Amino acid sequence: MESQELYCKKCNSCGFLTLSANYKCPECSQFNWIDKKIKGEGSIYSYSKINVGFGRMANKTPYYLAMIQLDEGLNLLAYIDFSFKENIQINSKVKFHQRTEDNYLSFKVLE
């Protein structure tokens, strides 16, 4: 998988999409998962500014975490790339952006 690509799991039996590695499909109870490449575009429906971090994020404060709804209908919590944080608003359009210096699931706000 290339660094700027985002994949989800798709149930090959019923088409259910998920970002987590489920043992069986919660919709049809089958064990028939395939990897599916998705656009990685969506919009912010909630966000929070984190002023006190912990662990690996302690020295990156302040930073933003956002609840994102992807165009494919999946919802996820993700890090917003700090170089774009001035533009964060509810309904802002975002695109998956894998940071090379760490392995965080991150997005950048589109202009």
Q: Do residue 80 and residue 95 come from a single domain?
A: yes
Q: Are residues 76 and 26 in the same domain?
A: no
Question: Is 97 a domain residue?
Answer: yes
Distance CA 104, CA 89 (A): 21
Which pTM was predicted? 0.79
Query: Are 46 and 33 found together in one domain?
Result: no
Q: Are residues 28 and 82 in the same domain?
A: no
Q: Is residue 101 part of a domain?
A: yes
Domain count, the chain: 2
In a domain, 59, yes or no: yes
- Whether residues 85 and 52 fall in one domain: yes
Written as tens digits, the pLDDT of the chain (111 aa) is: 345 788 999 999 999 999 887 789 999 999 999 999 999 999 999 999 889 988 887 888 888 889 999 999 999 998 887 665 566 889 989 988 776 666 667 777 876
Same domain, 52 and 17: no
Distance of CA 71 to the CA centre of its chain: 11
In a domain, 1, yes or no: no
Amino acid at 49: K
* Phi then psi dihedrals of residue 86, to 5 deg: -65, -20
> How high is the pLDDT of residue 11?
94
Same domain, residue pair 49 and 59: yes
Q: How confident is the model at residue 63, as a pLDDT?
A: 83
Residue ranges making up the domain that contains 61: 39-109
Residues in the chain, how many? 111
Q: How far apart are CA 99 and CA 79, in angstroms?
A: 10
Residues 52 and 100 both lie in one domain: yes
Question: Quick check: bond before 26 cis, omega within 30?
Answer: no
Q: What is the pLDDT of residue 53?
A: 83
Task: Tell me: do 33 and 43 sit in the same domain.
Answer: no
Q: Is there a single domain that holds both residue 60 and residue 103?
A: yes
